[in-house]
Amino acid sequence: MKNKQWRSVAMAAIVASTLALSACGGSADAAVEQTDVTIGLIPVLDPGLVFIALEKGYFKDRGLNVKLKSGVGGATNATAMAAGDIDVGFGAYVTILQAHNKGILDVAIIAEAARASKGLAGIYSLADSDVVKPADLTGKKLALAQVRTIPDLAAQAVLKDLDVDYDKINRVEMPYPEMGAGLARGDFDAAWLTEPFITLLKQNYKVNQVVDAYSGPTDGLAIAGFYTTKKFAKANPTTIASIQAGLAEAAKFVKSSPDEARDLIQVHTKLSDEVMNQVTLPDFPADIDIDKIAVNANLMVDAGYLDKPVDIKSLIIK
């Protein structure tokens, strides 16, 4: 197995961060209050809009000097924001909503980062496995990058919708880059993978897709977003509006020039040409869809991640 390439994107998985509350808007045409802005993210596919906006100069055109600070995961970004090391963070809504619910950060969602597309994530087994369909997972071991995050939530929602008893699946944690080797050793029977790790797995093994992770109740799910603190948003409304405008322009560029967009994302993810040409990209939205984000909160209540529903609208800055 080509462990090197798996490890080359090792610090780039799990989606996760923090979240939200409302604040005032501003005009992207006015002078920004803060020109130097640090965005905390993970060098994976989902924050691709930031990579495109940087490479195309969409932030610079609006008077912003944006720098990136890479973290291991959403919790790292949340900690960095709490310490004042970053101004804007990237994270999965599941982690964002958990942080909001626990009062870890007083934050506000300023833009969507990625929505689920077909084939972006799924549960996979090796071709010689006896796990070939969702029902076969009962009584088996399923590897997840981390429990009680988006993989766990999506798996539970999709499998429950297919009448699979999720409580009868033994979930084990395993970093994405180690899942291929773990499957080959028989450490677990199936693994929940997202891109680019699906493409990397297929390069090294013959596999079964047991189920698409974003199907049924998670079809088109809003996966991750960009956020800041309520304090920063109130103090810098034009800065926030300028970031939003840059990201929206990047989203439009993806629609008009998808091949070039892949090239720009590759600059930051460092994936090989072979992998980058094959990966399934998420959908990159140009706007905020409150209802799509709210699906996360509803699924989290059903799964016991949240005690009560969250008013997503009150967490959004438009």
**Confidence check: pLDDT of 297 > 90:** yes
- C-alpha 35/C-alpha 89 separation (Å) is 17
Which range among 5-19, 66-80, 82-96 shows the weakest confidence by mean pLDDT? Answer: 5-19
Neighbours of 249 (CB within 10 A): 20
Strand extents, DSSP E, 42-150: 65-70, 88-92, 107-115, 121-126, 141-144
Q: Residue 263 carries which side chain, given as an amino acid letter?
A: D
Lowest mean pLDDT, pick from 5-14, 25-34, 96-105, 141-150: 5-14
Whether the CB-CB separation of 113 and 49 falls below 8 Å is answered with: yes
Provide φ and ψ at 108, rounded to 5°. Answer: -140, 135
C-alpha dist (Å) from residue 39 to 8, 189, 297: 22, 37, 25
DSSP conformational letter for 279: P
CA atoms in the 13 A half-sphere facing the CB of 100: 32
Helix (H) / strand (E) element for 194: namely strand 190-194
CB 142 within 8 A of CB 188: yes
pLDDT at residue 127 in the model: 97
pLDDT digits (tens, 9 = 90+) for 181-207: 999 999 999 999 999 999 999 999 999
Over 80: is that where the pLDDT of 282 sits? yes
Q: Taking residues 9-13, report their average pLDDT.
A: 43
Cβ proximity of 250 and 49 under 8 Å: yes
The answer to whether the CB of 25 falls within 8 A of the CB of 318 is yes
Structure tokens at 317: 């800055």
Kindly give the pairing relationship between strand 170-173 and strand 107-115.
Answer: unpaired
The average confidence (pLDDT) of the chain is 90
CB atoms inside a 10 Å sphere around CB 181: 15
- Is the distance from CB of 285 to CB of 254 less than 8 angstroms? no
Cβ atoms of 170 and 138 within 8 Å: the answer is: no
The average pLDDT across 21-31 equals: 46
How do residues 87-100 score in pLDDT, each as one tens digit?
A: 999 999 998 898 88
Q: Are 3 and 185 in contact (CB under 8 A)?
A: no
| pLDDT-based confidence at residue 72 (cuts at 50, 70, 90) | low
- What proportion of the chain, given as a percentage, has pLDDT over 90? 79
Which of the 8 DSSP states describes residue 316? B
Core vs surface per residue 183-219: b (16+ CB within 10 A) or e? beeeebbbbbbbbbbbbbbbbebebbebbbbbbebbe
> Does residue 180 register a pLDDT over 50?
yes
Contact 312, 294 (CB under 8 A): yes
Which phi and psi (to 5°) does residue 143 adopt? Answer: -85, 135
Quote the CA–CA distance of 25 and 86 in Å, as a whole number: 20
Distance CA 268, CA 230 (A): 29
Residue 22's pLDDT band (cuts 50, 70, 90) = very low
Q: 40 φ, ψ to 5°? A: -95, 130
